[in-house]
């Protein structure tokens, strides 16, 4: 019995040894090394810029108005514009724009070639809260600024009173101003499909300081020498314009809600010629900045209110004079040529601007 157990144990060991050998003799299959080809990276295409179309111009919302008098409808915001028809008093109109001064309204006019026309805003009633969009006046070339006639003015072929008259502007006529002469005393405007010249003294102009100096003259004619310039050292006195404290050259109302900027150009001389100019203005609600630029001799500016001088300002013409008028009400500015040892003449431009 003992021998049988040993025999079984012996054969079991041999069996297990054989299995072990089989396991060890099983060859290991090596995993081959694969080289994976890497393709070059493809660049991400840059986005193509797409032009953004310009925003469409805002469509004006018509504002209803009522005429208070018989009105001519004009092709331009000026009495010099072509007459496109007549409106009876108390006519209803559709207003689609105004000039920058608010002197004229652009209305729907079916009978007009362009379907619209201009009427004088002074004779049209609208709701006080109505918002009327400002539209461009003139040829649309963008090469000029708007100007408002403050008195009746002759339009001339060139920058001087010796030039032929081409017609007239009435007070509140609005025109496109394309430039000025070298003295700033004359302005070139668009007039009846062409060009003409008007005295800057009787015009209110937006951004007049940025107007280009125009050298074009009427063919075959010479430019008039401004009254305050000299030729060959000879003193030429300023022309008498007949204004006075009781009868000023111009009167204007300055207000941030109406006329915000006013400009006046003139000339004075001493000891002979026109020694002073008078400008009347009324401030309503806001103070105003007074700015004076001049060429030639020195000038003195005196502010009058209620019959007395409230301030005095003197400046040589190589400097710009500025001061603020704080009081509201009716006032007058007196521009004088300062006396000197020798005769002198001065060109000046005076600007009043409402301060908000």
Beta bridge partners of 108: 116
pTM over 0.75: no
Average pLDDT on 187-194 reads 91
Task: Identify the CA nearest to 295 among candidates 309, 316, 324.
Answer: 316
Residues for the chain: how many in total? Answer: 356
What single DSSP character describes residue 10? H
Q: How many Cα atoms within 13 Å fall on the side-chain side of residue 276?
A: 16
Among 66-75, 199-208, 246-255, the range of highest mean pLDDT: 66-75
For residues 38 and 95, the answer to whether their CB atoms sit within 8 Å is no
Q: Which two tokens stand for residue 36?
A: 């994976």
Nearest-Å Rg of the Cα atoms of the chain is 42
Work out the widest C-alpha separation in the chain, in whole angstroms: 165
Averaging pLDDT over each range in 41-45, 148-152, 301-305, which range is the top one? Answer: 301-305
219 falls in which pLDDT band (50, 70, 90)?
very low
Cβ-contact 180, 347 below 8 angstroms: no
CA distances from 310 to 303, 327, 334 (A): 6, 10, 12
Task: Give all domains of the chain, ordered by start, each with its CATH number.
Answer: 63-125 (2.30.30.40), 145-210 (2.30.30.40), 250-354 (2.60.120.380)
Q: Which range (20-24, 93-97, 183-187) has the least confidence?
A: 20-24
Q: What is the pLDDT of residues 84-105, one digit of tens each?
A: 999 999 999 999 999 988 999 9
Residue 240 has pLDDT above 50, yes or no: yes
Kindly tell me if the per-residue pLDDT of 129 is higher than 60: yes
| pLDDT of amino acid 233 | 44
Separation CA 225–CA 183 (nearest Å): 10
Question: Is residue 190 pLDDT above 90, yes or no?
Answer: yes
User: 122: which 2 tokens?
Assistant: 């002074």
In whole numbers, what is the pLDDT of the chain averaged over residues?
A: 78
Answer yes or no: are the C-beta atoms of 318 and 299 closer than 8 Å.
no
Q: How many Å apart are CA 87 and CA 243, to the nearest integer?
A: 38
- pLDDT band at 50; cut points 50, 70, 90: low
């Amino acid at each position: 019995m003992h021998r049988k157990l040993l025999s079984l144990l012996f054969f079991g060991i041999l069996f297990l040894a054989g299995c072990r050998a089989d396991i060890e003799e099983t060859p290991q299959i090596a995993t081959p090394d694969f080289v994976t080809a890497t393709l070059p990276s493809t660049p991400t295409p840059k986005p193509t810029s797409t032009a953004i179309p310009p925003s469409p111009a805002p469509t004006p919302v018509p504002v209803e108005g009522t005429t208070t008098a018989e009105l001519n409808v004009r092709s331009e915001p000026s009495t010099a514009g072509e007459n496109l028809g007549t409106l009876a008093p108390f006519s209803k109109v559709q207003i689609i724009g105004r000039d920058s001064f608010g002197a004229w309204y652009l209305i729907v006019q079916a009978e007009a070639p362009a379907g619209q026309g201009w009427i004088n805003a002074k004779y049209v009633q609208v709701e006080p809260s109505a918002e009327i969009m400002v539209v461009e006046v003139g040829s649309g070339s963008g090469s000029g600024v708007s100007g408002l006639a403050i008195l009746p003015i002759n339009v001339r072929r060139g920058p001087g009173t010796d030039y032929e008259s081409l017609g007239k502007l009435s007070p509140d006529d609005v025109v496109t101003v394309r430039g000025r002469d070298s003295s700033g005393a004359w302005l070139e405007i668009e007039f009846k499909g062409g060009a003409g010249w008007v005295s800057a003294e009787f015009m209110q102009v937006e951004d007049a300081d940025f107007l280009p100096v125009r050298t074009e003259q009427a063919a075959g004619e010479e430019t008039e020498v401004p009254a305050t310039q000299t030729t060959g050292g000879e003193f030429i006195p300023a022309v008498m314009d007949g204004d006075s404290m009781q009868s000023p050259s111009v009167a204007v109302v300055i207000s941030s809600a109406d006329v915000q900027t006013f400009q006046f150009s003139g000339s004075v001389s001493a000891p002979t010629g026109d020694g002073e100019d008078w400008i009347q203005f009324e401030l309503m609600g806001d103070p105003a900045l007074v700015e004076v630029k001049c060429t030639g001799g020195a000038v003195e500016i005196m502010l009058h209110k209620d019959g007395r001088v409230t301030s005095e300002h003197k400046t040589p013409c190589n400097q710009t004079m500025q001061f603020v008028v704080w009081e509201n009400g009716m006032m007058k500015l007196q521009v004088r040529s300062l006396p000197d040892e020798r005769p002198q003449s001065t060109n000046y431009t005076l600007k009043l601007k409402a301060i908000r």
